[in-house]
Amino acid sequence: MTAHLVVAALAGLVFATMVASVAFSDRDGAQRLFLSVDRLSMFVGKAGGWCIVILTLVISYDVTARYVFRAPTSWALDASSMLYGALFMLAGAYALSRNGHVRGDFVYRTFSPRTQGKFDLALYILFFFPAIFALMVSGWFFFHHSFLQNEHSSMSPDGPILWPFKAIIPIAGALLLLQGLVEVARCVQCIRTNAWPQRLADVEELDVAILAAAQSEGLDALTAKVASGGAQAAIAVTQEHEDEALRANRDRTH
């Protein structure tokens, strides 16, 4: 019963967000709120990215201890699993805020912005939010049972405690839910205006940056630059557009 009430409350939150985005999306405060959530997702995602550094050190130490000193560790396997899992979970909202999750771009990019917004909104409602609700509810019970048992890993003799790691599951679900609500509001704005609201500028994949440059400068002009200057010219053009996006982002946030 409790899980059903939680899911119903979360569904009501999604509906309220859609209504509020229709009523208040044209106000400056709404855009500032969206960008604040983007910054939160960015902070958590980049903080979680340091797990890569720690994971590299852990594996390097374990390999060195195992093959050089013949003294393998009993904790490296558990630590590496936890660090990789934490990295994966904490980066989800950050990737969503940057529109970085996998999609069929070869079809999607041919749609008008309004059609893209309708398409995204339908997918969020049909697939994203049910999955996030399940992640949050089941993740909470998963963590809670582990906490009550003071669960330790059974994969090694001196298994580390597990419930702090399992607590990341509902936390990551909550961050994804928050960012998903912002994305739904952006979809509603896009459907109304036929233009996507601005996002925080950040690093971008080269193929996406080249497509943006082609749309801005024209395909023929970009092709001529690449033909005359090679790959370096393409990188330079995309860097110019990324710098312009960063400057525009700073202007919006100040």
pLDDT given for residue 197 in this prediction: 86
Q: What is the pLDDT of residue 118?
A: 93
Give residue 176's pLDDT band: very low, low, confident or very high (50, 70, 90). very high
Residues 6+ apart with CB under 8 A from 145: 151
- Residue of 252, 248, 119 lying closest to 183 (CA atoms): 119
pLDDT at 10: 74
- Separation of alpha carbons 21 and 97, rounded Å: 17
Residue 239 — very low, low, confident or very high, per pLDDT cuts 50/70/90?
Answer: low
The reported pLDDT for the residue numbered 155 is: 80
Quick one: tokens of 4? 């059903």
Q: Is the pLDDT of residue 165 over 80?
A: yes
Alpha-helical regions (H) of the chain: 2-24, 28-67, 76-97, 105-108, 113-123, 129-149, 163-166, 168-193, 206-217, 219-253
Give the per-residue pLDDT at 217: 64
Q: Which pLDDT score is estimated for 68?
A: 92
Percent of the residues in the chain that have a pLDDT greater than 90, as a whole number: 41
Highest mean pLDDT among 14-23, 101-110, 161-170, 213-222: 161-170
Mark 203-237 as b/e (b = at least 16 C-beta within 10 Å).
ebeeeebbbbbbeebeeeebeebbeeeeeeebeeb
Could you report the per-residue pLDDT of 22-38, keeping only the tens digit for each? Answer: 666 666 677 888 888 99
- How many C-beta neighbours within 10 Å does residue 141 have? 12
pTM for the model: 0.79
Any idea of the CA torsion for 140, 143, 147, 153, to the nearest 10 degrees?
Answer: 170
Q: Which of 47, 91, 112, 96 is nearest to 200 (CA)?
A: 96
Mean pLDDT of the chain: 81
Q: State the pLDDT at residue 11.
A: 77
Res 117: pLDDT: 92
pLDDT digits 0-9 by tens, 48-98: 999 999 999 999 999 999 999 988 888 888 999 999 999 999 999 999 998
Please give the radius of gyration of the chain, using alpha carbons only, rounded to the nearest integer. 22
156-160 contacts at long range (C-beta below 8 A, 24 or more positions apart) = 156/74, 156/75, 156/77, 156/78, 157/74, 158/74, 158/75, 159/78, 160/75, 160/78, 160/79, 160/82
Return the DSSP state at 254: -
* CA dist., res. 36 & res. 30, Å (int): 10
Q: What is the pLDDT of residues 100-125, one digit of tens each?
A: 777 777 788 788 989 999 999 999 99
**Max avg pLDDT among 191-195, 212-216, 234-238:** 191-195
